[in-house]
Structure 1
């Protein structure tokens, strides 16, 4: 039988003291580290290091980034962590051409501003100056233009806002591929149809249509023109029952197959 080694208390005391010393040192290092971290945070928050250094703007097409930054009222003196996002969003949304705004932070010092603008669905000319027409039917008086940008149709002869507002909604619902084909829309009301419009297309055709269901009717335009002889030009009348083509060269009416109209109803 082996004998167990007996360690005296005198031999164990130095080891206990050494273990306690290491534990005390680790605790001291932890508290010192925590202290310096807290001091660093306080210094960071109280210094210009925590101020906003960059403002990133996305989603804008018509309004400049600089204008949106001014609307936000954020400056380089503002603390990155104390900015009021709801207040900034409210400030930016006051612009008549902005539908909504979203504000977020990106560490360490960047504020992100995302905006959604109201679509420009047309342009109106008054006293030689062009004004954008927004999707809500409002004329953007605050942004007069000397020339049109060509991203929306030119709207003429609209003397009653009610019809202009309804056309704005219809243009918003129309696919961009069709809107890009439209050069000008003229209001031509008759006694029997106050909603009648004449549409001038970029490919040389004219279209007689109604403001009511305008987007639905114009969606079939490419299908209608694909059935016409190459090089032919004239007026296409799109009605409830179908479409009729009147060539410029003669007075013959050519009825377009009704399947084109049916495609728009699907």
Structure 2
């Protein structure tokens, strides 16, 4: 029978003491690390290092980034961790041209503000200047000497109801179509108070009705593709769809002047 080695208690006590000491040291280091981390966090939160150091605005086109930053009320004196994105979004969205806002934070101190602007549907000429019209038919107080070219000129819309309706219809059109429209004139007659006349950038006129404008106008490129480039005139899409060639050179020149205006 194999003889077992007997370890005396005297021999084991130093080893037990050493093991306990190591565990105690590890525990002490852990507690000190946590304490140091807490102290460092408190110091960081109370120091300028935790403040916002940059506000980045994206998505704006007509509204300046500085104006959006002013609406957000965020400065480098604001604590980065105390920024409430939902509250900032509410403040920025009060701007008449802003339809949607998303605010996010990027460590260590950047606040991102992404905005969507209301689409500019057209421009109304007033007192020799051009006033932007938004997608809901509302007018901006700001004016410019010339339209920026991102939307057609709307002419003759003295009735706000028809202005709002044509704005809604233009909003539904793809950009590939609206980019071809130079001017939209309200041209009512006894039979149709919703009749409009469009002057296109490629030299044609279009007679249409506000009521079915967004559903019929997308066919414009395919209609033009069937016409001879030499023949300019009026494309009727208000009731039926047919082409009316200009009866004289003078009429053609008049249309060209509108299209280039």
Task: State TM-score, norm by structure 1.
Answer: 0.91
Task: Give the 5 Å matches for 1:98-137.
Answer: 98-137=98-137
Task: Give the 5 Å matches for 1:230-249.
Answer: 230-241=229-240, 243-249=241-247
**In the TM superposition, what whole-angstrom CA distance separates every residue of 1:65-122 from its partner, at most 9, and x where no partner exists?**
1111111010000001111222211111111101121211111111111111111010
- In the other structure, the counterpart of 1:90 is 90
Contact 2:136–2:167 (CA under 8 A) maintained in structure 1: yes
- In the other structure, the counterpart of 1:5 is 5
How far the C-alpha of 1:249 sits from its partner, in A, is 4.0
Task: Give the 5 Å matches for 1:103-182.
Answer: 103-141=103-141, 143-182=142-181
Q: Give distance in 1, aligned partners of 2:173 and 2:186.
A: 18
**In the TM superposition, what whole-angstrom CA distance separates every residue of 1:157-192 from its partner, at most 9, and x where no partner exists?**
110000000000000000100000000001111122
Q: Give distance in 1, aligned partners of 2:109 and 2:81.
A: 9
Q: Give distance in 2, aligned partners of 1:40 and 1:232.
A: 79
More helix by percentage: 2
In structure 2, the residue corresponding to 1:132 is in which secondary structure? strand
Q: Give distance in 1, aligned partners of 2:135 and 2:201.
A: 22
Q: Give distance in 1, aligned partners of 2:232 and 2:190.
A: 28
Moved more, 81-90 or 4-13: 81-90
- In the other structure, the counterpart of 1:209 is 208
How far the C-alpha of 1:215 sits from its partner, in A, is 1.0
- In the other structure, the counterpart of 1:197 is 196
How far the C-alpha of 1:61 sits from its partner, in A, is 1.6
- In the other structure, the counterpart of 1:54 is 54
In structure 2, the residue corresponding to 1:104 is in which secondary structure? strand
How far the C-alpha of 1:27 sits from its partner, in A, is 0.6
How far the C-alpha of 1:17 sits from its partner, in A, is 0.8
In structure 2, the residue corresponding to 1:212 is in which secondary structure? helix
Moved more, 198-207 or 54-63: 54-63
**In the TM superposition, what whole-angstrom CA distance separates every residue of 1:13-43 from its partner, at most 9, and x where no partner exists?**
1101100110110011001100110001101
Q: Give distance in 2, aligned partners of 1:155 and 1:68.
A: 29
**In the TM superposition, what whole-angstrom CA distance separates every residue of 1:202-224 from its partner, at most 9, and x where no partner exists?**
00000011111111111110111
- Gap regions ≥5 residues in structure 2: 249-261
CA RMSD of aligned residues (A): 1.1
Contact 2:194–2:211 (CA under 8 A) maintained in structure 1: yes
- In the other structure, the counterpart of 1:262 is none
- In the other structure, the counterpart of 1:227 is 226
Runs (4+) of structure 1 moved beyond 3 Å? none
